[in-house]
């Protein structure tokens, strides 16, 4: 799959409203299912190589509106990998201790080390999203954060971390359907929060702050991918392809074996 159409190369002219949320009409879910199976096996192999080489680092940032599919994406794309080398960090409402520091303080300790893949389920971007929508900080403070984030991600890249950022793009109708599923299916009731309805009322504001976020922070070293996410199988195929392409571009090598292995005989 060619994923270049999902990568933002000209963020200044980007319009979120013009980006698709649905799969193409000729999308074949059975073909896609087989493709994802192959891709996730490839991710498993590349992650093992990455852990063995222990030189490269990959940070995957996932952002979406509520019900956007972040958890499902992580399960589908990274479910085959060895948890020793793949970590997921979810960023919830800041604690009192976190609020007593700068907003990047709670983020930096969780970036990947050598050989690791780290997935951020929400991220430092919450501080230019929900904080902006609900005016939890003055606008002039929030506006400065785009440059802070650019500097932070550039520093990570300079220190050897590959950063990719994925926005899961769903429609308002799809969010309605997913929220109704949480209400109508007992096994999903636990996912529903009363605040979900209130947050949905801010749909238009969230679309605007998402668009600004992508415009202001998609760079060559830390690009944004906007992925149509109404169809979960299509979403999984796109993101699996992005991860495979990213890992293959690292040109990783197996560590050299110890000398003299050819002379060892196991009795």
Q: How far apart are CA 228 and CA 237, in angstroms?
A: 11
Residues 146-167 have pLDDT tens digits of: 999 999 999 999 999 999 999 9
Name the one residue in this structure whose structure tokens are 């002219």. Answer: 13
Parallel, antiparallel or unpaired: strands 57-64 and 117-121: parallel
Residue 168: closest CA among 50, 39, 67? 67
CB 21 within 8 A of CB 229: yes
Mean pLDDT value of segment 1-29: 93
Considering the segment(s) 4-252 as one domain, its CATH architecture is 3-Layer(aba) Sandwich (3.40)
Mean pLDDT of 115-140: 96
DSSP helix/strand/coil, 64: strand
Higher pLDDT, 12 or 139: 139
Mean pLDDT of the chain: 95
Given CA atoms 156, 157, 162, 163 in this order, what sign does their dihedral have?
A: positive
Q: How far apart are CA 262 and CA 133, in angstroms?
A: 63
Q: Would you say residue 75 has pLDDT above 90? A: yes
Residues 80-86 have a mean pLDDT of 93
Pairwise CA distance, residues 123 & 92, whole Å: 9
CB 46 within 8 A of CB 252: yes
Residue 48: pLDDT band (50, 70, 90) is very high
**pLDDT exceeds cutoff 90 at 191:** no
Per-residue confidence band for 254, with pLDDT thresholds at 50, 70 and 90 = very high
pLDDT score at 205: 98
Instruction: Determine contact, residues 116/136, Cβ cutoff 8 Å.
Output: no
Buried b (16+ CB within 10 A) or exposed e, 91-126: beebeeeeeeeebeebbeeebbeebbbbbbbbbbbb
Which residue in this structure is represented by tokens 């929220």? 179
Residue 11 pLDDT greater than 80, yes or no? no
Band of the pLDDT at 263, cuts 50, 70, 90?
confident
- Could you tell me the pLDDT band of residue 264, with boundaries at 50, 70 and 90? confident
First to last CA, the chain: 48
pLDDT for 167: 98
Predicted local confidence at residue 235, as pLDDT: 98
């Amino acid at each position: 799959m060619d994923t270049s159409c999902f990568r933002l190369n000209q963020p200044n002219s980007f319009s979120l409203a013009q980006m698709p949320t649905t799969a193409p009409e000729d999308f074949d879910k059975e073909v896609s299912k087989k493709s994802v199976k192959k891709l996730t096996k490839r991710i498993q192999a590349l992650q093992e190589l990455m852990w063995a080489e222990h030189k490269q680092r990959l940070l995957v940032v996932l952002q979406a509106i509520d019900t956007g599919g972040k958890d499902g994406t992580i399960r589908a794309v990274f479910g085959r990998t060895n948890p020793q080398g793949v970590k997921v960090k979810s960023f919830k409402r800041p604690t009192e201790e976190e609020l007593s520091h700068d907003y990047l303080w709670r983020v930096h300790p969780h970036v990947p080390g050598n050989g690791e893949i780290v997935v951020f389920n929400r991220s430092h971007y919450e501080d230019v999203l929900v904080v902006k929508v609900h005016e939890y900080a003055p606008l002039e403070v929030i506006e400065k954060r785009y440059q802070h984030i650019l500097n932070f991600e550039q520093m990570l890249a300079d220190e050897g971390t590959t950063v990719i950022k994925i926005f899961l793009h769903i429609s308002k109708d799809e969010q309605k359907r997913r929220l109704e599923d949480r209400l109508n299916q007992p096994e999903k009731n636990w996912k529903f929060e009363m605040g979900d309805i209130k947050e949905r009322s801010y749909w238009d504001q969230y679309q605007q702050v998402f668009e600004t976020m992508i415009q202001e922070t998609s760079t060559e070293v830390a690009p944004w991918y906007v992925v149509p996410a109404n169809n979960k199988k299509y979403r999984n195929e796109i993101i699996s392809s992005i991860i495979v392409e990213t890992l293959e571009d690292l040109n990783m090598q197996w560590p050299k074996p110890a000398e003299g292995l050819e002379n060892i005989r196991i009795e």
